[in-house]
């Protein structure tokens, strides 16, 4: 999984504040976050346990769908 805020339909909205990417990582504005399958599973488990906020990423092309 590759996450780029520039590809997220939620970029610049209130959802950014609660996104797990923003929560876990400090990054430069133009950097994408790359999460492998094992890390994605771990993040989902942490989310289910209430330990981290949910991923707020919504690909722009799926927003209209």
Q: pLDDT, tens digit, for every residue of 29-59?
A: 677 777 889 988 988 888 898 877 787 778 8
**Sign for the pseudo-dihedral over CA of 64, 32, 18, 36:** positive
Residue 26's pLDDT is what? 58
Task: Name the CA dihedral angle for 27, 19, 1, 43, rounded to a multiple of 10 degrees.
Answer: 110
Nearest to 19 by CA among 31, 33, 30: 33
Up-side HSE of residue 3: CA atoms within 13 Å toward CB? 23
Instruction: Give me the numbers of helices (H) and strands (E) for the chain, helices first please.
Output: 4, 2
Global pTM value: 0.47
Which whole number is the average pLDDT over 16-41? 75
């Amino acid at each position: 999984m590759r996450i780029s805020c520039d590809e997220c339909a939620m970029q610049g909205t209130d959802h950014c504040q609660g996104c797990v990417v923003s929560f876990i990582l400090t990054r430069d504005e133009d950097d994408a976050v790359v999460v492998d399958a094992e890390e994605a599973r771990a993040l989902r488990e942490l989310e289910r346990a209430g330990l981290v906020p949910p991923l707020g990423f919504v690909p722009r092309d799926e927003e209209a769908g």
